[in-house]
Amino acid sequence: MAISWQEIIDILTKYELLVSVERPNVMEFKAIAYDSRKVSADTLFFVKGNFKPAFLTSAIESGAQAFVADKNYAEGANIAAIIVKDVQKAMSLLSAAFYNYPQNDLFIVAYTGTKGKTTAAYFTHEILQNSTHGKTALFSTIDRILGPNEQFKSDLSTPESLDLFHDMRRVVDNGMTHLVMEVSSQAYKKSRVYGLRFNVGIFLNISPDHIGPLEHPTFEDYLAHKLMLLDNSDQVIINAESDHFAEIYNRAQKGHASEDIFVYGHKGSQPVVNVQPDVSFTGHADLTRSQLLVTAQTSKSKKLGIAGEYNLNVPGDYNESNAASVLIAVGLAHADHQSMVIGLNEVTVPGRMESFATKNHGMVYVDYAHNYISVKALLSFLHQQHPVGKVIVVLGSPGNKGESRRAGFGQAVSEEQADIVWLTADDPQYEDPQAIAAEIAAATDETVVELHYEMDRPTAIKKALLMSTDDDVVAIVGKGLDPYQKINGVDTPYRGDMQVARDVIAEIEASV
């Protein structure tokens, strides 16, 4: 892989990003990097984010031949400099060029939404793996699967642009033909996907989340960045039952013919604007799976071959809605019907709605629900499934992140009438978990919900399980399969909620 000086200048000029060049003396770059620790000979280095000038010094020592930045740096006075209006946008465009536009060789399905991105991405990956005979890659919050023998844990839902195009190139070189990915609002805010076009973009839902000093200043800013996926996708799929549907639909209409917009919703759901859903569904869930009946309502959706009955291996009525969007997406990717049926029947999503039955302490669920909309959806489902017993919840909220979630948790457990809530630590970071718990409590209606406090997470899980009887359900929410707790900037190893719960139950059962 390589990129020439002239190609760089041409791209930056075309996108009106170039401000000035200094000391142009390099013909071609053999590597690109934004981290000084990853610089080798002949590297083009991007200066971005919370950058310290000492990083540039160390990049030059390691072989950087030029740097791209929003401003000039004295530390870079001996190498070529390319000054741009927006280094994140420049990095995305130049990374795509450096890796020779791998997106041109892939059918890319991209999900955005407050909740369900990872789940829907896994459903889609499972189906497309069947229909493409193993040639589908996945970039999700949990894992990045670049090919049959290349898979690793993700750091971000949507990778930094340079990493994204690097990994996409690996995907193409591994012989993959399809890619399923999550596109977070941060990805657009930080221009990680700037210039990238998707074949299909899906807008699952929106509700207040990720609002705080490090993410989005306001809900409007959050929504604005999520809507950008619609502008950058050839065909779009929209949930008729999402909040702000009118705004989402209007935005889709701006850039798409009606043939390229697909709307889905529960049978009988009526969006606020007068739009007939293209695909409707009814579902019936039990504790471990759902039955789904999907109907194509319009001529364009009838061509997708998705109408029919499905068994969905992951419970939760909201997952029926996720599955409906997935079926449209895979239909647009030309998956065959049999692959759809098999894929939904067999799919699992790590840390989402994982459960096990105990002998005397009811059902245990571990779920990644970690904001108002997801805790509310989860509790509503558990109440439907457990009309008799108590719903006991263990939860906390992270420190220095998504501060608005705390009130959201209090509101969700009150509205859905959780019987008992154990407030505990999530990823407290630099905050006091007890103070975070007090904020959740302040938003909780304690005439409805019985609150308990235990800041040691394994102990909170143990106390919740000990009080649970055979009819009850214990939902441990917020961390899914996370193998660590973030405490004071350190990823402190943690057994994981499921393992803790299994260990506690084994201990209890061994002692009776």
CB of 241 to ligand ATP, least distance (A): 9
| Binding-site member from 59, 94, 333, 378 for ligand ATP (CB under 6 A) | 378
Q: Among ligand UAG, ligand ATP, none, what does residue 442 contact (CB within 5–8 Å per kind)?
A: none
CB of 89 to ligand UAG, least distance (A): 13
Q: Judged by CB under 6 A, does residue 119 bind ligand ATP?
A: yes
Segment interacting with ligand ATP, rule: CB under 6 A, options 71-79, 81-89, 223-231, 374-382? 374-382
Cα maximum dimension of the chain: 78
H helix intervals, 293-432: 299-302, 317-332, 337-346, 372-385, 405-415
Q: How far apart are CA 230 and CA 130, in angstroms?
A: 27
Segment interacting with ligand UAG, rule: CB under 6 A, options 101-109, 123-131, 182-190, 315-323? 182-190
H helix intervals, 236-368: 245-255, 299-302, 317-332, 337-346
CB of 157 to ligand ATP, least distance (A): 6
Asked if 379 contacts 346 with a C-beta cutoff of 8 angstroms, the reply is no
Q: Judged by CB under 6 A, does residue 116 bind ligand ATP?
A: yes
H helix intervals, 443-493: 457-467
Q: Judged by CB under 6 A, does residue 486 bind ligand ATP?
A: no
| Binding-site member from 136, 322, 414, 444 for ligand ATP (CB under 6 A) | 322
117 known member of a binding site? yes
- Nearest-CA neighbor of 475 among 375, 399, 401, 334? 375
Which C-beta is closer to ligand ATP: that of 75 or that of 427? 427
Q: Among ligand ATP, ligand UAG, none, what does residue 444 contact (CB within 5–8 Å per kind)?
A: none
| Binding-site member from 75, 126, 215, 427 for ligand UAG (CB under 6 A) | 215
Asked if 315 contacts 381 with a C-beta cutoff of 8 angstroms, the reply is yes
Segment interacting with ligand ATP, rule: CB under 6 A, options 23-31, 85-93, 110-118, 160-168? 110-118
Q: Judged by CB under 6 A, does residue 115 bind ligand ATP?
A: yes
Q: How far apart are CA 340 and CA 334, in angstroms?
A: 11
Q: Among ligand ATP, ligand UAG, none, what does residue 67 contact (CB within 5–8 Å per kind)?
A: none
Three-state secondary structure string covering 208-237:
CCCECCCCECCHHHHHHHHHHHHHCEEEEE
CB of 79 to ligand UAG, least distance (A): 15
| Binding-site member from 76, 102, 113, 399 for ligand ATP (CB under 6 A) | 113
Q: Judged by CB under 6 A, does residue 141 bind ligand ATP?
A: yes
**Which residues fall within 8 angstroms of residue 158, CB to CB, at 6 or more apart?**
139, 164, 181, 182, 183, 184, 186, 187, 192, 193
Q: Among ligand ATP, ligand UAG, none, what does residue 119 contact (CB within 5–8 Å per kind)?
A: ligand ATP
Which C-beta is closer to ligand UAG: that of 179 or that of 327? 179
Segment interacting with ligand UAG, rule: CB under 6 A, options 98-106, 153-161, 296-304, 495-503? 153-161
Asked if 21 contacts 83 with a C-beta cutoff of 8 angstroms, the reply is yes
Compute, in degrees rounded to 10, the torsion defined by CA atoms 164, 113, 179, 200.
Answer: -120
Which C-beta is closer to ligand ATP: that of 64 or that of 228? 228
Binding mask 151-170 for ligand ATP (x = CB under 6 A): ------x-------------
- Nearest-CA neighbor of 56 among 26, 64, 22? 64
Q: Report residue 497 as tokens.
A: 């909620």
Binding mask 19-58 for ligand UAG (x = CB under 6 A): ---------------xxxx----------xxxx---x---
CA 246 vs CA 230, 453, 504: distances in Å: 14, 42, 48
Q: Judged by CB under 6 A, does residue 156 bind ligand UAG?
A: yes
Q: Judged by CB under 6 A, does residue 444 bind ligand ATP?
A: no
**What DSSP designation does 149 have?**
T
CB of 321 to ligand ATP, least distance (A): 5
Q: Among ligand ATP, ligand UAG, none, what does residue 313 contact (CB within 5–8 Å per kind)?
A: none
**What DSSP designation does 158 have?**
S
Which C-beta is closer to ligand ATP: that of 103 or that of 157? 157
**Which residues fall within 8 angstroms of residue 213, CB to CB, at 6 or more apart?**
none
Q: How far apart are CA 405 and CA 369, in angstroms?
A: 11
| Binding-site member from 103, 119, 130, 185 for ligand UAG (CB under 6 A) | 185
CB of 182 to ligand ATP, least distance (A): 6
Conformational region of residue 480, where left means phi above 0, alpha means psi within -120 to 50, and beta covers everything else: left
Q: In what order do the strands lie in the sheet with 450-453?
A: 354-357, 363-367, 473-477, 391-395, 420-423, 450-453
Return residues touching ligand UAG (CB under 6 A). 34-37, 48-51, 55, 156-158, 160, 184-187, 190, 210, 214-215
Residues annotated in a binding site for ATP? 113-119
Residues of this chain that interact with ligand ATP (CB under 6 A) are 113, 115-119, 141, 157, 204-205, 318, 321-322, 352, 367-369, 373-374, 377-378
Binding-site residue set? 36, 113-119, 157-158, 184, 192
